[in-house]
A and B are shown apart, each in its own frame.
Chain A
Amino acid sequence: MTSYRYGRPALRSSVDVQLQSAFSEGNWNAVVRLAAKRAATFKDPYYEAIKMCAESQLDGTAEKCGVLVAIDELMQNKKVPDLDIIELYEWACRDFLGYEIEYAETLGPLRVRWAKANATSPLALQCMQACLEKWDLVSAQQIATTLDKTHANSTDRRYLFWNITLTFLLSISPQCTDASRKVYSLLAVRQLERAADLTENWPDSEPTDRGLRTEEEICLYYRVLLSHGTKEEFISRLQSPNLGAIRQLKKGHKLLFCEGLKALESWGEWDCIYSICREALTRGIEGETTPFFVCDLQVWKKFAVAASKAADPDNALIEVQTLLKQYIEIKDKASEMHRKNLSLALLETTFRLPVTTLDPDHNSTGLSPRVVQLGLYLDQYFERLAAFDDIKYYITELSFEEIKTFMQAVMPRIVDENSDKSRKIVLKVLECKLRYLLTTCPQTLSPQPSVANGEVQDGPFQCRLCNKPASLPCRCCLKMVISSASELYQQIACDSKLSDAIPRLDKDPRLDLALVIGISLLKLAGLKPQTSDTGPSIWKDIDPGLFLQGVLVLDVQLKVSPRDNELRLLLVQLYLLLGCASYAYQLWIPLDVKRTIQDALSPIFFDRISNISPGLFQGTRSFMEPLRAYYNNTLRDACPLRIWDAFSSGSYTSILDMVEYDSDLRRSCTMMMALVEERRAIRCFGGRIECEIEAHPLTANITESTILVNKTDYGSFPNFESINGPPLHEFLRLGPGLSNERSHLAFLSEQYLDLLAYKPPKEYKPSKANEAALRDREYTIEVLSRLSESLADLLHKPETPSRLNSGETSYYTIVSLLSAALLTAISTSRNDPPPRESLSLVTSSIKTAFATLRGTLPLSNPVENPRMPQACYAFADIQTLSWVRDAALAIRHSAGFVLAIHDKELARDRSGRSGLHRDVLAEMRALYEISGKALGEVKSTVQRLKEALAEGGWLDRLLDLVFGGEDQEEEDEVRKAVGEMVGGRAGAEEWAGKVIESWREGMKGWGMVRME
């Protein structure tokens, strides 16, 4: 029989042609009729099953559900079922699985029953596959155990390892009961230990033995040991002669070595790391493995760190260096990559050596061995694109004296006077990047008294590089970086020889220079990491002119280097910060983020997008469709994608990794973001939301205790910052990144809004209206109670405030309070004592929180800055506008919900006894009124912003901000440098036009947003 998984099942070949044709054509009425006849004639239950299967395809509910009854009968009957019938039923009830019936409670056990009775049949394996593909681990494990016993003497080793793998998967799965978990864990460990002992004691035994032979089998053992065994056991095996990491390396298998090191590092077993690394690297030198097989940088790094933590670090590190020198002696045989790894390893070991070993005399000239080694490294690699990244962390470890010597004495000597022009430029670009890096290093500052020589000092520190009062970053140094980088930029632009040399270089040096200049300008403007503490509009804390200069420089550079992704990503984030979402989207599209990489990269553009630009959702095709389609297609089935491929290939570690990846993807913060953003946008335009968020197939397994996982990939962002501060992308977001807390708050809030929006179907007319009303109210109270408790718990978690921006904190607080208020309101009947205190306490908190949020509404607090149009503040703070609207609507709908319940009760029970309490109604009416006012304010803000944009002179105003107006004739160095780079005011006009147009598009979208 053809498997149902690939479509309609094929009938047994003994079935006549007429019935076969009707079945394959989907002529279900004919199938029912013919199958009934054949059943009567042949007395074969198979025909009854065909009939049932055909009936399940008809429209009637009774016919559809007949198959469920039939399955139940099979379950009750203790006989071994017919496999063909099971397959027919499985296909027939495919739409009921997970809803009306659970596979693991019905078809799975039926398949187990059949497989146990027919263990030698090849179809028993098909049963295991079917259970696996329905992710019924309990049944799959039972079949695997049966098959393993049956094929114990087979040369097909997979039966044994399928059994073990499934037993292990079950032991870590929520499908396993707590009582059985320990048993399955022990079972998996014991079976593998027995296999491991067999291999340890008889390494060259027969192919039919039940030991560990392949790399996959061995690594499965270690994975299980890591999860269920002891650390001591793991370490002891890792060092054992036949199953140890070194033996595996000799066989050309590196996986165990890598995984072993990772486990040892997590336990802080540095002595063990040291000895394993030493042995692995020694074997490479001695020719027992390919020489550079383990010559990875992380191996050298771990080796060096382990040596520095040894009881005698001096000697241990000397041993590392000795081994390293042996490798360096044969480096001519190595690839360029391994040669570079060796050079970096040399740098690493130098930095891990105690200062006393490196420099016994404590010579403080700054020309320390560390500085010398950095110089030697750059001698070889300064022209490579990754040179800055390679040395960045080492530079930040240097003392100030060392930094000074490195920058002043070592860097200039890396290329000589007669060297090629382009090489000199590349070195100078690297120097610029390093000088920027130093502005983020605290060792470049020294504390200074707040008052010196009777004068109050400008900064809490003095910059040791420029001797000016400073705080981190030093403004004077940033200006110098901008000035020298722009000079270099101009030098390249004016020198045709240099321009011609660019295609031969690893990277266009102008790109790095523009990045340094742009980022320095952003820092100079006062841009801070966008945390929960930062104000809603970036303009309030920064110098708009400098910020816009930074954006302009980077934007102009994108025209020169349109294919550079780090620059493009940076600009996408900057334009989102500026409120230019449609322009950010134009920049985002060419990145072609699609398919598999969407989960990691989409948050960079899509997170909070419905708040800042709902208009983007208005189009012929939903612009989040690819993201939605990705999750729908990838997570459609309960089992991890391609899992059977891994089983059939005997790739046991792949199985475990794929299960873990699948579990993470099903709990993805990006997935939740996609669902929530789309729902918010739909509501903005009064569209119809397909289903309640809790009923969405993608959230089926997400409960309040599920930890949602954020996997956003910021790896392609430029990052010139030192490790002492946050990476650059944290300066550019619209608030804290995706998190478990924020995702759950969004999920719960959507559930709350779903409850308010619920309307029973028109055809729903319960015969016992009173009972139904009572049940509805009980259900509402139950949901509100759960939501209110969960929202409050989440908001009170100590880490939650740092995961939200200020608008989000207000909105989720208001929703949480609303759910509590509604709970009190609905559960207080007219005859109860007045809930005045409890309710008014909550409603006054709602009013206070909402008043605070409304107080931040754009344009409500004009900022005194004659050069900066007030509307500009608002464009960068459009999120607040959105949160005020969303909060107002939540309040309005909540109040409306309560009042509607009261009205319904009055209509149902004319006596008025079942209505809500008077105080409740008064509070709700007050809230309703407040929300109405707030929505009016939002509407008027949108109108005022649209009018402001319709006024003339925007181009000049924006360019004045960047270049200074006529009243600012005195031109500072920085502005001059920017002007030269971008072709002056005229050169910036096109850019300014795009920014303004994007603001207009954004406001056009907001003009369409419904305020009810």
Chain B
Amino acid sequence: MANFRRFRPDDLNKLSKCNLDPFTETYELGFYLQYYAKWPSLFQVAEDQHGNIIGYIMGKLESSPDVYRFSEHYLPWHAHITAVTVAPEARRLGIGRLLTEQLEAAADANNAWFVDLFVRTTNHKAIAFYKSMGYSIYRVVKDYYGDNLGDPSLPSEDAYDMRKPMKRDVKREHIREDGEKHEVDPSDVW
């Protein structure tokens, strides 16, 4: 049913199965192309037999700018998952897991210390999914999201910054066990 391959811009004309889903954000063209231009191997798609995109992952490789080198919030060379989505009809087949594993393989190939991502603290399903893949909470970013899906009367929502160490982090220096106790402000997150 699915083929996994690298994203190509023409896929943007086949996104309806994923992006008409209200939980998937549609970005400006420049945003997708920026990822494809800079980190093509971290932009992977799953397509069905008619060429429709039924899942995709967008990621990047980076470190904090040098000026933050001595900051406690400095992030060394790592991969970041910006977006991962699977069309409703293709869920429960492990497509999200496969796409994430592919990004992790690319992170390892590029000698990243870890892969990280942000997730709403109320998105228990996603948190459980990432935990099952070896991600753990590294810190809590207070009021990271400018809205609150669980309680629309609240102006914001916290995010978990979750991480999974890659092969390079042999000593597991970039993860922590009590991440939930470490709170930071959005301004500390680069």
Which A positions have Cβ atoms within 8 angstroms of B?
215-216, 252, 254-255, 258, 296-299, 301, 335-338, 340-341, 344, 384-386, 389-390, 506-507, 563, 565, 591-597, 599-601, 630, 633-634, 640-643, 645-646, 649, 651, 653-655, 657-658, 660-661, 664, 711, 713, 715-716
Contact = CB atoms under 8 A, between A and B. Distances in A.
Contact of A506 (B26, B92, B95): B92
B9 A661 contact: yes
Interface residues of B, number: 51
Contacts of A646: 36-38
B16 A715 contact: yes
Contact of A716 (B17, B28, B40): B17
22 contacts: A254-B6, A299-B3, A301-B49, A337-B1, A337-B46, A340-B93, A384-B93, A389-B1, A507-B89, A592-B22, A594-B26, A595-B29, A596-B26, A596-B28, A599-B13, A600-B16, A641-B29, A645-B37, A651-B40, A654-B37, A657-B9, A660-B10
A337 B101 CA distance: 13
Contacts of A653: 40
B34 interface: yes
A916 B146 CA distance: 69
A255 to B, nearest CB: 5
B74 to A, nearest CB: 23
A716 B36 contact: no
Interface in B2-46: 2-6, 8-10, 12-17, 19-22, 26-30, 32-34, 36-41, 46
A255 B6 contact: yes
Closest 3 pairs (CB-CB, A-B):
A661-B9, A646-B37, A645-B37
A198 to B, nearest CB: 23
B32 to A, nearest CB: 6
B109 interface: yes
B90 interface: yes
Contacts of A596: 12, 15, 26-29, 32
Given A252-B105, A341-B1, A595-B27, A651 B38 contact: yes
A480 B50 CA distance: 30
Contacts of B93: 335-337, 340, 384
B51 to A, nearest CB: 8
Given A594-B26, A596-B29, A634-B29, A658 B37 contact: yes
B97 interface: yes
Contacts of B91: 506
B160 to A, nearest CB: 25
Nearest to B87: A716
Given A654-B36, A655-B37, 6 more contacts: A337-B98, A385-B89, A506-B92, A592-B26, A641-B30, A713-B13
Contacts of A386: 1, 48, 89-90
Contacts of B95: 337
A600 B26 contact: no
Contact of A715 (B1, B17, B109): B17
Contacts of A642: 30, 33-34, 36-37
B52 A715 contact: yes
B94 interface: yes
B107 to A, nearest CB: 12
A86 B108 CA distance: 44
B97 A335 contact: yes
Contact of A297 (B3, B12, B38): B3
Nearest to A568: B20
Given A296-B4, A594-B26, A651 B94 contact: no
A649 B38 contact: yes
A649 B39 contact: yes
Contacts of B49: 297-298, 301, 389
Interface of B: 1-6, 8-10, 12-17, 19-22, 26-30, 32-34, 36-41, 46, 48-52, 88-95, 97-98, 105, 109
Contacts, number: 159
Contacts of B27: 595-596
B36 A336 contact: no
Nearest to A713: B16
B2 A297 contact: yes
A298 B33 CA distance: 26
Given A255-B6, A653-B40, A661-B9, A563 B94 contact: no
B16 A716 contact: yes
Given A654-B37, A658-B36, A595 B1 contact: no
A711 B52 CA distance: 13
Nearest to B26: A595
B6 A597 contact: no
Nearest to A299: B3
Contacts of A215: 41
Contacts of B15: 596-597, 600, 713
A506 B26 CA distance: 24
A345 to B, nearest CB: 10
A626 to B, nearest CB: 11
A649 B36 CA distance: 10
B17 to A, nearest CB: 6
Nearest to A255: B6
Nearest to B32: A596
Query: Max chain A CB contacts within 10 Å: which of B3, B30, B91, B92?
Result: B3
A651 B12 contact: no
Nearest to B108: A252
Nearest to A665: B29
A150 B109 CA distance: 31
A450 to B, nearest CB: 39
Contacts of B1: 297, 337, 340-341, 344, 386, 389-390
Nearest to A290: B105
A384 B21 CA distance: 19
A763 B4 CA distance: 63
Contact of B2 (A337, A597, A640, A655): A337
Contacts of B34: 642, 645
Contacts of B29: 595-596, 630, 634, 641
Contacts of B52: 715-716
A175 B60 CA distance: 34
Contacts of B98: 335, 337-338
Contact of A597 (B4, B5, B16): B16
Nearest to B10: A661
Given A254-B6, A297-B3, A641-B30, A336 B94 contact: yes
